[in-house]
Amino acid sequence: MRDLKAAKPRLLDNGLIELSEMLNEMAKLAERTVSASIQAYLEGGDISLQIRQWSDTLLKYYSQVGEKSIELITRFQPVARDLRTIRASMEISYDLSRFGRYAYDISMIFKTLGGRIEFGRETVAEMGDMTMKMIEASTEAFRTRNAKLAEKVIDDDKQVDALYFKHLRDCVKTPPPKIQQLIQDVLTVRHLERIADHAVDLASTTLYMLKGEQPGTWR
């Protein structure tokens, strides 16, 4: 990929650098938002207001990335690799915004249902750890244009899915004594599984940007 900061800049390059910087800021905030939400859930704290604020900020970034992308397409009519980069930026900003939304949903589970987390704590902690590693790896793959790291994120999703479905089967075999605990747990692991899916989407889009192949052909 063209090194935008090392090569003699074109007018389009300044816009692409701006897009990249916005996405980097989004990635940092998305990681912080998901991590804080998982930690608060496990520790039994209500930080839904803070998570909502961060989630709203991610949505604003998503809108700004879209507007900037349309501006670059309209002004410079990019083709080939530059156009793929712009399209990928729009799609990646969507996935990053969804991290914030699911993090907020997790924070609202505790606020709505409350109570000490007595059921499924170990699974949530394990899935949360795996999911955070996928988020970090997928955003790093985009930042560094690392195809191998993106491919690893896609492969790691199999472990998250396996743990998720095993946990659902265990819930059926040995449900908790209170339905509230079951609802709280199932909703949370479902949100974590969806976050992992968006990390896969982000990694797939990175591969599209680098290789020009349509997302979904690497699974």
CATH code of residue 37: 1.20.58.220
CA 21/CA 99 separation, integer angstroms:
18
Q: What's the chain's average pLDDT? A: 92
In a domain, 4, yes or no: no
Residue 217 lies inside a defined structural domain of this protein: no
SS3 119: coil
Residue 79 has pLDDT above 80, yes or no: yes
Residue 157 lies in a domain: yes
Provide the 3-class DSSP secondary structure of residue 174. Answer: coil
Is 47 a domain residue? yes
The closest of 126, 134, 162, 137 to 38, measured between CA atoms, is 126
* Encoded amino acid at 105, one letter: D
Structural domain of 136: 11-211
Specify if 3 maps to a domain: no
- The answer as to whether 35 is a domain residue is yes
**What are the pLDDT digits (tens) for 113-164?**
876 677 899 999 999 999 999 999 999 999 999 999 999 999 999 999 999 9
Q: Which two tokens stand for residue 6?
A: 């090392």
**Is residue 176 in some structural domain?**
yes
The CA distance from 18 to 75, in Å, is: 15
**How many Cα atoms within 13 Å fall on the side-chain side of residue 103?**
33
**Structural domain count of the chain:** 1
Q: Has residue 218 been placed in a domain?
A: no
